[in-house]
Amino acid sequence: MVTPYYEAKGEVDDYGDRAVTWAARSAEKVVIQPAWRTRRAQIYAGIAGSFDSSDYIGVLKSDTAVEAGDYLLVGTVKYAVEQIVPITIFGDTSHKEAHLRIMTEG
């Protein structure tokens, strides 16, 4: 299970600047694979770009609450969610694919 976190809005620090705080969403299942190793045009057609060893692809449920700008915590490893693309089959969203970038390793 993966714990997604989103940036909480409206918080300010003692100086009046916007403070960055993170709040957890409900845990959900996500399949995470290294993008540079598993990238195939027919599978990850929605996510463009060249990838290196810090890039990962996450496969999420179609009704996921995860959004671009969130981060995913898997054990002690953090992944930044760069982009999310819905994958449709026969006009319905089958699942969503996320371009993830590793932030910290545990």
Domain boundaries, the chain: 3-104
Residue with tokens 């009046």: 16
Q: What is the structure's pLDDT at 101?
A: 92
Q: What is the structure's pLDDT at 53?
A: 76
Q: What is the structure's pLDDT at 41?
A: 46
Mean pLDDT taken over the chain: 84
How many Cβ atoms sit within 10 Å of the Cβ of residue 35? 22
Question: Which residues are CB-neighbours of 6 under 8 A, at least 6 positions away?
Answer: 22, 23, 25, 67, 69, 70
Q: What is the structure's pLDDT at 17?
A: 84
pLDDT bucket at 44, cuts 50 / 70 / 90? low
Asked if pLDDT for residue 43 goes beyond 70, the answer is no
Q: What is the structure's pLDDT at 96?
A: 93
Is 3-104 a domain of CATH 2.40.10.270?
yes
Q: What is the structure's pLDDT at 42?
A: 43
